[in-house]
Amino acid sequence: MNPYLPPIREDPQPDDALCRKVGHPDDWFPTRIRDAAEPIKACWRCPLIKGCAAAALDTMQRHGVWAGVLLNDADIQTSRDQLREILK
């Protein structure tokens, strides 16, 4: 586990998004599947994960890592099902 990651807060704020604090923002839009592992791991520790999943669904995102899910434009329905699982 990365010791530089902040603790999860009870009242997450937008600035708590780990994609704003870890690595480079482009890391959340990997061009190779194997490069998605690190951002996905960070997402699973992010206090905003549920809000992020809802935002990705609401705004119909088709690319990038959102809420720990690498959105697959070729199978976007499966990606959206994975995001909905996070909201349960």
Three-class DSSP category at 68: coil
CA–CA separation, 16 and 46 (whole Å):
8
C-beta of 25 vs 81, nearer to ligand SF4: 25
C-beta of 25 vs 75, nearer to ligand SF4: 25
C-alpha dist (Å) from residue 84 to 42, 61, 77, 81: 19, 13, 10, 5
Question: From the CB of 75, what's the least distance to ligand SF4, in Å?
Answer: 19
Binding site for ligand SF4 (CB under 6 A): 17-19, 28, 42-43, 46, 48-49, 52, 65-67
C-beta of 28 vs 30, nearer to ligand SF4: 28
